[in-house]
Amino acid sequence: MHDSWKPFLKSEFDKPYFKELSKFLHQAYETKTIYPKKSLVFSAFATDLNEVKVVILGQDPYHTPGAAHGLAFSVPDTAPIPPSLVNIYKEIDNDIGHHKNATGNLRNWQNQGVLLLNTVLTVEAHKAGSHRGKGWETFTTEVIKYLNETRPHLVFILWGRDARNKKSLIDAKKHLILESPHPSPLSAYNGFFGNHHFSKTNEFLKAHDMNIIEW
């Protein structure tokens, strides 16, 4: 994780809820197959806090082997592109032209100041949502509150119910909030397609004299 996050993260790690979460995770990693691997759980926080411009909030990590690597919606270069990300790329293509990525790895977005954060950061293999209610939601609520308070003119992109539940934490007078159904094939046609979130993000960044994201 980037040094800029360390004061915030240390304060959270010392709280009772996170100590309970840590106990749960220690046992889970010892006894079950959990994704992503331990060293990648906090990969999203490799983004320099002072460079964050956009926050994309997802649900929980991919629960199939070789997919989750700590960034919401992203997979390693060698992994097949998941259906949700296929739909994200389709919306980029329809919204602003051809997407820039040859694989499903979104690290180049991260390098441009996009925080790719799930609301829950771990999952048991083949059991979607299995680590909900264990403490991660409290942690990511605190992350959103911290970003809302400390950073100016962010774009918060909230896809799906879990992400949209964080909307009340964000000051809409200070930041841009973009929300829609999740890009999953189960919901993409209910309002994800055609949301124009990528062009709207870049218009907001331009208006505040920031470099646009090369999606």
Active site residues: 60
Quick one: which of 115, 101, 122, 96 has its CA closest to 36? 122
Burial classification of residue 104, based on how many CB atoms lie within 10 Å of its CB (0-12 exposed, 13-18 middle, 19 or more buried): buried
Backbone angles phi, psi at 155, to 5 degrees: -105, 120
* Two tokens, residue 60: 């929980």
Sheet arrangement for strand 176-180? 114-118, 54-58, 155-159, 176-180
| Distance (Å, whole) CA 183 – CA 174 | 26
